[in-house]
A and B are shown apart, each in its own frame.
Chain A
């Protein structure tokens, strides 16, 4: 107590982290110092029984001394502060305990498992050893409430069993806190639904049953754990034969849903299998249950899959004409027996006799007395399900011996007989002595070409071979040539002769050779063809193609130049019945006329004939006419001086040569007066009933012949076609203006006439016009203008006027200085005439 009160160490106890420095100070009371006559220099430090070197001491003052430890290692020791009294007596002043260690590391790998029917166990990795007493606390909570802490037991400091009943389908958050003298830390929080951490109980009551219908299946049945009511399950089912050590597993996809039975297929018959099963939550979350208890079952029997090995032994017999035969066979191994073999059935059939001897044997041998005849023995094994296939054995006749003859082929078969039965037999063909074949092979051609021939032949029948055929020789020759020989291997039945001459008769024969010689076969003749196959075709076809091509080109050429050809060889003769009547169309004259002309040309019938169609649009006459007039005025400079053609000749030529006249009324009057001497037809424009008639006339087609005779006239018309158009328009405009005059009675009259069919009528008139064109060209009559004027003066036309009118167009053409000028004419002779 004296010493105890003599001083103290600061700190009074120490837990030190490994690797750190530590300093302890010993303070001795002054009265003790005085009592022992010492000071701080007398203080020394000891750990357990070892004195600490003075280098680690520090004298702080008269009564205090400190000791410093640097980079402390693992320690668990006592540190004492001592003084030496009277120079040598060691007095302990104070002592403390020093423990070193580490603060706790953050616990890792925290995870929990819910063993079905038990509480939840959580475990973690505590990290490195702290060497200190470290307390772990497992904390858990729902989002809405906190649960009691779980303290691990001492024997299992890194796991803890939560003592409350776990509730599925509620997420729980769990973490671990670790604490020791050097610090405190906690793991990451894990949050999970306990249903995903369940290790279900193993399936129970696994049973196996077989099926009498199918020997390859076994049915498993089991009881699912209670967890099945909480979540769906999936399974692993494993099986093995009883003697095997390796488990086979049913494919997982077949057992991926909750079930309580399963049929295993593709098993061997009559074989004992062992099964086991385990389960897990169907989505794979959680843990596999333990394996169930193993259960075994035997598949049902099937008929034996293989026949027993079967042999015989002939034993000498004392009885004449009989012999004792011992038939022996082997038992079937289980995988072939497919069940328990109940008995064997042996049937003996005498050669060439229907007599049967049946024996049912439980043993694997049978001794029978047989005559010296040949016998056929069959053996089958039988089990509960059925019989195996029969194993057949021939027991040769007693007197069987080798009366072998030469040049006969023998098949020698040797079957080894082992102690437990026969082995696999082997056969060989053999001759006692060979001879040349009795017949030679018959050769024939398979295919004959210009320079080659394919020969074929049949193998010699074994009866005539008299030995092994080693090779064949083919001889072939022409009538005059030498014979050529070709050797062919005996395995071939076909050969191709090449380099033959075409169109030649060949004779070929063939010989077969054994080791002992050969024999020729019959001679065969064939003739090679003059041409090879396809050769003629190769010549003819290109020639034909070239010919065809030439012809085609010729036709194309002719087609392209048909107009020219036609013109020179067979010029067209117009059909009078298809004559057209010209029409005046004030509406769109230039374009229409062009197209009309083009159409005529495109027809190809009238190569040198021009026809102008002139229509009159009576309804819209006035405004259109004005427009046309304007148009015409614009075009006038270019057209002036070229005026010719129908329009020009009829209207314009009546009094004025040009449209540029400003006195339109006068012009119209002039025109109308001219028209009155022309033919009068009314026509519709675009299905409209015209309010104003169109003037045209058709004449007899007789002069067409003149036209044909004078083609140069027609060509002239063609050249002037362009010039015709403006004139025609001009003519129509004048006429249209005339239409506006209600006092013109002949319009109305013509309208009545056209009441039958205006369009057809107009079309007919157009044809007539075109015909008339030819006619007028051919007539070469003159004085058109004069005649027109006369017509104007006469007013309404008469029969006689019309006749005269015919000549008007002709004369007009001449008057224009061009021989081809056409006046629209509407009335055929004998047809309609204006009244």
Chain B
């Protein structure tokens, strides 16, 4: 399952496609990607930032860009499997709180599991120096904040998938870390679904262009650990802002 995913993702790049997830959304996504995937993503593609890889842990729908951008033409395409409930914002807040409360523990667990020199060189190795991380503007409208949240969660979800995959190889015995990474990825998956629902049901936004972090597949062990540590440091930082903003 992972292999075809990687191929597909690499080819499509901006549009993660999970085989087997035979939902209406996916069909729509593929169509929509050709129409709307170009605008902000061309630059990303050119700069080489976008290379993406999802692992098995990043399950159905995770990181998938929502189809269709034009607001006035999305009623037909922005469909959900069943009506979204009206407690979405409350749920989103709960999920952000849940992530925020566990982010620091995950960060500590991660750099501890990596061993030296990480725990003693956090500033150098784990500083939140993540380039091309999707921006967030806390003072924007709810719609704008949700769109930005969607991008961030998609980015983080994909990155967490990569980190989980790497850690299973690099630290196969750090079961607690694996479990925590999986749990975080699960919550993020749910968060992405809720944001999708909210954007779709209230703002009729069916498509959001997303970007992903660098692929670590070809990098050496230290670089993998370092990129993971930086990402989790960034995650810890940004999730606090997000939890505050909603």
Interface residues of A (CB under 8 A from B): 141-147, 164-165, 167-171, 173, 189, 191, 193, 195, 229-230
Contacts and interface: CB of A to CB of B under 8 A. Distances in A.
Interface in B146-205: 182-183, 186-187, 189-194, 196-197
Contacts of B101: 229
Contact of A169 (B182, B192, B194): B194
Given A168-B94, A169-B95, A145 B85 contact: no
B98 interface: yes
A169 B25 CA distance: 22
Given A143-B81, A167-B186, A191-B85, 18 more contacts: A141-B81, A142-B190, A143-B193, A144-B81, A145-B21, A145-B60, A145-B81, A146-B23, A147-B60, A167-B189, A168-B98, A169-B91, A169-B95, A169-B98, A170-B193, A171-B84, A173-B82, A229-B102
B217 interface: no
B83 interface: yes
A12 to B, nearest CB: 36
B61 interface: yes
A142 B101 CA distance: 25
Given A144-B25, A144-B197, A145-B21, A170 B91 contact: yes
A680 to B, nearest CB: 94
A142 B186 contact: no
- Size band of the interface chain B makes with A: 20 to 34
Please give me the 7 A-B residue pairs with the lowest Cβ-Cβ distance, nearest first: A167-B190, A170-B190, A143-B80, A169-B91, A145-B61, A144-B193, A169-B94
Contact of A168 (B21, B80, B82, B190): B190
A195 B101 CA distance: 17
Nearest to A143: B80
Contacts of A142: 81, 190, 193
B98 A230 contact: yes
B33 to A, nearest CB: 17
Interface of B: 21-23, 25, 59-61, 80-85, 87, 91-92, 94-95, 98, 101-102, 182-183, 186-187, 189-194, 196-197
A146 B22 CA distance: 8
Given A170-B91, A229-B101, A143 B83 contact: yes
B82 A191 contact: yes
B93 to A, nearest CB: 9
A169 B190 contact: yes
A196 to B, nearest CB: 11
B17 to A, nearest CB: 13
B23 A165 contact: no
B60 to A, nearest CB: 5
Nearest to A165: B186
Given A143-B83, A145-B21, A173-B82, A193 B91 contact: yes
B121 to A, nearest CB: 30
Contact of B85 (A147, A171, A189, A230): A171
A146 B61 CA distance: 10
A758 to B, nearest CB: 82
28 contacts: A141-B81, A142-B190, A143-B84, A144-B25, A144-B61, A144-B80, A144-B81, A144-B192, A144-B193, A145-B21, A145-B23, A146-B21, A146-B22, A147-B60, A167-B186, A168-B94, A169-B91, A169-B95, A169-B98, A170-B193, A170-B194, A171-B87, A171-B91, A173-B81, A173-B82, A189-B82, A193-B91, A229-B101
How would you classify the secondary structure of chain A's contact residues: helix, strand, loop or mixed?
loop
A287 to B, nearest CB: 19
A170 B102 CA distance: 18
B8 to A, nearest CB: 17
Contacts of A168: 94-95, 98, 187, 190
A142 B21 CA distance: 13
Contacts of A191: 82, 85
A124 B21 CA distance: 27
A176 to B, nearest CB: 16
A492 B83 CA distance: 91
A191 B21 CA distance: 21
Greatest chain B CB density within 10 A among A142, A164, A167, A169 is at A169
Contacts of A147: 60
Contacts of B60: 145-147
Contacts of B191: 170
Nearest to B91: A169
Contacts of A145: 21, 23, 25, 60-61, 81, 193
B68 to A, nearest CB: 14
B27 to A, nearest CB: 13
Contacts of A230: 98
A144 B66 CA distance: 10
Contacts of B81: 141-146, 173
Nearest to B85: A171
A195 B85 CA distance: 15
A163 to B, nearest CB: 12
A304 B87 CA distance: 60
Nearest to B66: A144
B198 to A, nearest CB: 10
A164 B56 CA distance: 13
Contacts of B197: 143-144
Contacts of A195: 94
Contacts of B186: 165, 167
Contacts of A167: 186-187, 189-190
Nearest to A144: B193
A145 B192 CA distance: 11
A653 to B, nearest CB: 101
B61 A141 contact: no
Contacts of B182: 165
A56 to B, nearest CB: 51
Nearest to A193: B91
B220 to A, nearest CB: 32
A267 to B, nearest CB: 37
Contacts of B25: 144-145
Contacts of B196: 143-144
Contacts of A193: 87, 91
A168 B102 CA distance: 15
A191 B186 CA distance: 19
A229 B194 CA distance: 20
Contacts of A141: 81-82
A146 B82 CA distance: 10
Greatest chain B CB density within 10 A among A141, A142, A189, A229 is at A142
Contacts of A165: 182-183, 186
A118 to B, nearest CB: 14
B193 A229 contact: no
A212 B192 CA distance: 55
B53 to A, nearest CB: 20
A195 B94 CA distance: 11
A164 B183 CA distance: 12
Greatest chain A CB density within 10 A among B82, B183, B196 is at B82
A508 to B, nearest CB: 93
B94 A143 contact: no
A191 B85 CA distance: 9
A212 B191 CA distance: 51
Contacts of B102: 229
B51 to A, nearest CB: 25
A201 to B, nearest CB: 16
A229 B98 contact: yes
A749 B98 CA distance: 109
Contacts of B80: 143-144
A145 B18 CA distance: 11
A600 B184 CA distance: 107
B207 to A, nearest CB: 14
A833 B190 CA distance: 117
A230 B97 CA distance: 9
A144 to B, nearest CB: 4
Greatest chain B CB density within 10 A among A141, A142, A145, A195 is at A145
B242 to A, nearest CB: 15
A167 B84 CA distance: 16
A171 B95 CA distance: 12
